[in-house]
């Protein structure tokens, strides 16, 4: 069961990475320019946000993994946004 859940989460993540839309993050100032230059990161943020919404809306707890998956996804989003912000800052310093 855990393997199935892990596979489902990976599929959701990869689906987001291959999506044709660019994140709404890409329209926001210097960080937005970084998102445009790193579209896979922007799509990963979108995919993680969609996965969080799906998990939160689900009536079950995915074998006890729901809360940790949501927390890990939220942390991943924070880290990806910090990575884009760092690149934007570094690019401005040049």
For the segment 39-80, what is each residue's pLDDT rounded down to a tens digit?
Answer: 999 999 999 999 999 999 999 999 999 999 999 999 999 999
Q: How far apart are CA 57 and CA 19, in angstroms?
A: 22
Per-state percent for the chain, helix, strand, coil, to nearest 5: 85, 0, 15
Give the total number of structural domains in the chain.
1
Closest CA to 12 of 39, 38, 35, 44: 44
Q: How far apart are CA 14 and CA 33, in angstroms?
A: 23
Q: Cβ distance 80 to 45 under 8 Å?
A: yes
pLDDT band at 21 (very low <50, low <70, confident <90, very high): very low
3-class DSSP assignment, residue 19: coil
Domain around 76: 2-93
* pLDDT number for residue 13: 57
């Amino acid at each position: 069961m855990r393997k199935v859940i892990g596979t489902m989460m990976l599929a959701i993540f990869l689906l987001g990475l291959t999506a044709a839309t660019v994140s709404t993050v890409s329209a926001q100032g210097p960080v937005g320019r970084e998102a445009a230059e790193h579209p896979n990161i922007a799509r990963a943020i979108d995919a993680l946000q969609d996965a969080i919404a799906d998990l939160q809306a689900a009536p079950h707890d995915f074998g006890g993994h729901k809360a940790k998956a949501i927390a890990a996804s939220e942390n991943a989003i924070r880290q990806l946004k910090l990575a884009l912000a760092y690149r934007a800052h570094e690019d401005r310093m040049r």
